[in-house]
Chain A
Amino acid sequence: MRSITAGVVVALTGVGAACALSGKRGAAERQPDASAFVDAAAGAGDAQAIYDPYPPGILPSDLDAEIGRVLREIDSIERQAIAEWHALTPPTVAGNPPIAQGTGAASIELLGKLMNYDKSMSPRRNQACASCHMPYVAFSGPIPSVNLTMVAYSGTSYFRAGKRTAQRYTYSPFFPVLHYDEDQKAFIGGNFFDSRATGYLLRNPDSEQALHPPVDPEEMGFPDIACVAYRLSHAEYRSLFEQVWGEGSFDIEFPTDTESICATPGGAAIFGGSATPIPLGPGDRTRATVVFDRWGQSLDAFEQSAAVSSFSSKFDAFLAGKARLSADEAAGLKLFDGKANCNSCHLDGRGTTLKTGQTDTSTKAGVQPLFTCFGSANLGLPLNPRVAFYYEDKPDSVGQIGNPLGFAYRDLGLGTFLRNGLGAGPSPSADWTQYAQATDGQMQTTTARNVAMTPPQCPTTEAPGPYFQKEFFHNGYIKSLKQLVHFYNTRDVYKYDVTSGHCPPGTTEKVDCWPKPEVPNNMDMTMGNLGLTDNEEDQLVAFLQTLTDGFTRPYVDAGTFTGQCMSGGSAKTQGNELLIPTPPLPPCAPGVCGVAPVPSPAIP
């Protein structure tokens, strides 16, 4: 059993104190056994029984220390945000419909920020949204060693993790509500790699995205959405919430054992599969749900604010005629639009590719380009055997099994979501299910903006650095931008019928050997053999680095990283020293590939 940091233990001891903060029980409601929940939360007599079903080497050796480091950074930013709130002049409500005049916009954005860095928004008060999304990496994964090894981040139950990389917040609020475009015959919009945050109800995918992690057992992991309302009702910034969303927002009669229930991670066997273990009457249940929705909308306000999505990159300055690209950056832009064809999906709002003798007059885009088409594609990434999720086939201390399928799990992305499948559903539209086969393996085209953002002291993603180790695509298989561009360029040139860790002697994985795709169906053939030279790949990397916010004005909280940079090696083989051989793969499990309409052709 592994140890946990002192800081985390201190955080956990706060649970008992908070248990006293509970209200009245509603009538005629199921009454859980409070002591049973406490026992379940504590595990086998331990403050937190560590979940570690992993073979040696899957978890990074510094995981405890790095989680502690990020929690300290989170506390620091939260304290600063509290001070910002106290310094903010309250808005004046005026007009009809009523508008919070003056500082109304700033208030909701700050409320979202306070929520983002609030680690009490998890059963064990040990994880905030920011635990996986810190500002110095454009709100993606903040721990270099996790990015290098286990790919997904541990949730409130240390060290149980999800299956995918932590996506950047930046520009996610600009994605439209997920819909099937009849002209394009394709799905457009949504949030998450599999687009499962559709926006169908709040009409905003980003707001609905923020509703998932608080009750995802692999993440913050509350057992009931009402726990969000309960913990917010005890938050230091409760009055700001009420100022933004209305007095009386928390007029909810919580049962006396609510804290005990909320301190128990979701998915615990004791809940018997119930998503509403807090017994609330219909009115209180509705009010708690409204607070939960407001949580999502507040976080969306933060993510859409200039503190997160700031349009302050060198490329933005270039579009405005206020900066010049270097020769390599300009060459990279030309490749992005031309030979590499990146802007067929990562739309950059620019004019056409120039021919000899033509002059570029499109220095200003009509809109601020978002570098995404809001669509999805299967790029054919290999299965990454380092993803911790594959090993989570044993129950944890509260009886939760993250991945009962082990290595028989396949990540079909959008296809699984449309089937209401394992780890993705349910889908809000039965009409969409018919398109599952055509979308198997597809993952959302994320914006290219901020793909290269790193902390100031580690100014690049690329070895030899000093660099900040990031991870790319949904399963983190790619570890540098050089590898990313090389994958697009040569996926089909260096195709081998092997799994990761088994490239033939004489070849080097990710250099002149690409293992076979995890999902061979619907593979996008726009890429895979672009004919780029090594120097052209480097020029594309140089261009991608111009998309990092913080060039025209400082990026808020970019300087909060207190960890260590890495150095040495080559971007071409960055992380290869930690490749492990993929075990013999069992066939795709019926729980994934046997759900109608089944994938066609069958996925091995």
Chain B
Amino acid sequence: MSKMWIVALTVALTIGGVRIIEGPEIERVDPDFAIVRWTSTNPGGSPVHQGVVHYGTDSEKLIQTAQSPVRLNPNHPSTVFRVRLNGLRPRTTYYYRVDSRDAAGKDDGLKSQLQHFTTR
């Protein structure tokens, strides 16, 4: 990685924070299971980060949380987060927002729109 690219990435992270490049979207949905996926700029920091999905059947009350670990690649400018949601109800609409955290639980500062999906 060139020094210029490292500087540019560092500046971007410092000024703009971590931002979503793609998604979030539903990678897969079953009657009782779903995978939520998004790509963000590489948040840096601890090698293992947690993708977090706050979800619920009431768009005003995202009272459930799922999280899954991914391992950052320090050489990649972006990171794909994928989170498993288990124990869902069939044919039910769920609302969700996403964020990500470092290994110590520190929020990466991700901003996510409210989204929804319906199980099969």
Contacts and interface: CB of A to CB of B under 8 A. Distances in A.
Given A186-B48, A529-B82, A524 B103 contact: no
B61 interface: no
Interface in B33-71: 33, 35, 37, 46-48, 51, 68-71
A485 interface: no
A184 B103 contact: yes
Interface stretch (A38-46, A54-62, A258-266, A338-346): A338-346
Nearest to B105: A185
A343 B76 CA distance: 11
Interface of B is mostly: strand
Given A352-B1, A524-B69, A184 B75 contact: no
Given A353-B75, A525-B51, A528-B82, A183 B69 contact: no
Interface in B77-91: 80-84, 86
A185 B104 contact: yes
B1 A526 contact: no
B111 interface: no
Nearest to A341: B73
A526 B47 contact: no
B18 interface: no
Given A185-B104, A495-B28, A526-B70, A351 B48 contact: no
Given A351-B75, A352-B75, A529-B27, A522 B48 contact: no
Contacts of B83: 525
Contacts of B76: 338, 341, 344, 352-353
Q: Is the interface of A mostly helix, strand, loop or mixed?
A: loop
Contacts, number: 75
A337 interface: yes
B68 A525 contact: yes
Contact of B1 (A343, A351, A375): A351
B1 A184 contact: no
A492 B27 contact: yes
A45 B86 CA distance: 55
A344 B46 CA distance: 12
B68 A184 contact: no
A525 B28 contact: no
A492 B75 contact: no
A520 interface: yes
A523 interface: yes
Contacts of B98: none
Contacts of A523: 68-69, 84
Interface of B: 1, 27-28, 30, 33, 35, 37, 46-48, 51, 68-73, 75-76, 80-84, 86, 103-104
Those 5 A-B pairs whose CB atoms lie nearest each other, nearest first: A185-B103, A352-B75, A344-B73, A525-B82, A525-B68
Interface of A: 183-186, 337-338, 341, 343-345, 351-353, 373, 375, 377, 492-493, 495, 497, 520, 522-526, 528-529, 601
21 contacts: A183-B103, A184-B46, A185-B46, A185-B48, A185-B104, A186-B103, A343-B73, A344-B71, A353-B75, A353-B76, A495-B33, A497-B30, A522-B69, A524-B70, A525-B68, A525-B84, A528-B82, A529-B27, A529-B35, A529-B37, A601-B86
